[in-house]
Amino acid sequence: MKRQISGLVLSVTIAAMFMAAIVVRPLPSIAQTDGGAQAGTTTEKANDLEDSFKDMESLDTESVEANPVAPDDTDDTASTAAPSPVPITKVYPIPVPLRGGLDHVANGVATRNAGFGTIRLRGAPNGATRVRAFLYWGEIITGPIAVTQTVLFNGVPVTGRLIGVSPPPCWPGTAFVAYRASVIALVTPGINGDYRVSRLPSSIVDGRDPWLHAPVPAPTPLSEGASLVVIYSHPSVPLAARVFINNGAIMFFGGVAINNPLPAPVPNYSTLKHTRLGADGQVGSSTFASAPITSERTFLNAAQIKGIGSPFNTDSDWNGADGAPLNQLWDTNTSSLFARPVPPGAMNYVVRYLSNGDCIVAVAHVLSVK
């Protein structure tokens, strides 16, 4: 069962449930309660690049103009019939020629014990043209894994494909699953706006505290959160700019190094923007902060970009900010750097996470260079 419980008044019964959940979870090489206590040692896979986001794509102005359509997984008929067993994929026309290079903007919402929420997307400049828009979401499940899943985005059914499976991040369950759908047809022309997600699989839908309000733990499915990533073109962005996306689901405790292979070389650039999103970040238990949990650090190749010791941002990295103060347990975090930790010409980059007291699932990395 998840999280730092010192300082909280919890019943013996709930504590017993915590321990029972820990005993039955099939998490080889993870030796911890995710409650701040550690039993044995934790193996950091910081030098093990078998952890890779191999589902990858790359976009620039030239590639979009050569094929000016975007996939669209929305079902705008809003049919009441049973969901299709495969995504309803259409195409959305992109107005070309584009008036500039590509960049991205992202935000998310935590949905634990709710299954719904509002993504407040901001940051796209006036006059931007959307060229791709992806909705990501994830949950902890017990039982069979579906290769597609249909949820509602602004009230319209969208069907996403499975992009990753991992062990659950130290809550009871058999797996964490992540999905992605293209929702470009439902993103407003100005891009910035409030976007509601709903019908995410959740056993509880009243938004109760995951740590303090019974049942603890809640039964699966446990909805974790959702993120919206929009790639846009704008005249302020150099034409040579490029956006890379890598998807997957990798659970870690202690640390991990995630390799991101790239389908095209990194062009020469002056500014780098990196977004990472995923499940189960937090500040502690409920709204109670815990220093061991909030001491995460993030490295882009050899450069530390977040956490204590970073010259760019000393804030804790995976802190559940998408749902503060509740529900926590989901993060969409973007760093903009006037530095080049990923060298021009590179065909991959490595994101290294250190997390002393938290189980986390990384779901996607988005890299813009311009």
95-108 tens-digit pLDDT: 999 999 999 999 99
Assign 300 to helix, strand or coil.
strand
Q: Which residue has the higher pLDDT, 37 or 276?
A: 276
Q: Which residue has the higher pLDDT, 86 or 114?
A: 114
User: What is the model's pLDDT at position 199?
Assistant: 98
Rounded to whole angstroms, how far apart are CA atoms 267 and 164? 28
Identify whether the C-beta of residue 355 lies closer than 8 Å to the C-beta of residue 298.
no
| Residues forming beta bridges with residue 300, ordered by sequence position | 303, 351
Rounded to whole angstroms, how far apart are CA atoms 355 and 17? 25
187-202 tens-digit pLDDT: 999 999 999 999 999 9
> Mean pLDDT throughout 293-308?
92
Q: Within a domain: residue 4?
A: no
Structurally, how many domains does the chain consist of? 1
Assign 42 to helix, strand or coil.
coil
This prediction's pTM: 0.86
Tokens at residue 146, please? Answer: 């579906």
> Is the CA virtual torsion 290, 14, 117, 197 positive or negative?
positive
> Is the CA virtual torsion 38, 41, 42, 44 positive or negative?
positive
Is residue 2 pLDDT above 60, yes or no? no
Is residue 116 pLDDT above 70, yes or no? yes
Q: Within a domain: residue 23?
A: no
> Mean pLDDT throughout 146-168?
97
Q: Within a domain: residue 1?
A: no
- The size of the chain, in residues, is 370
Structural domain span for residue 56: 29-369
- DSSP class of residue 164? E
Tokens at residue 31, please? Answer: 């030796």
Q: Within a domain: residue 21?
A: no
Is residue 33 pLDDT above 70, yes or no? no
User: What is the model's pLDDT at position 87?
Assistant: 53
Q: What percent of the chain stands above pLDDT 70?
A: 83
Is residue 363 pLDDT above 90, yes or no? yes
Q: Within a domain: residue 294?
A: yes
Identify whether the C-beta of residue 351 lies closer than 8 Å to the C-beta of residue 252.
no
| Ramachandran angles phi, psi of 322, nearest 5° | -70, -15
Is residue 14 pLDDT above 80, yes or no? no
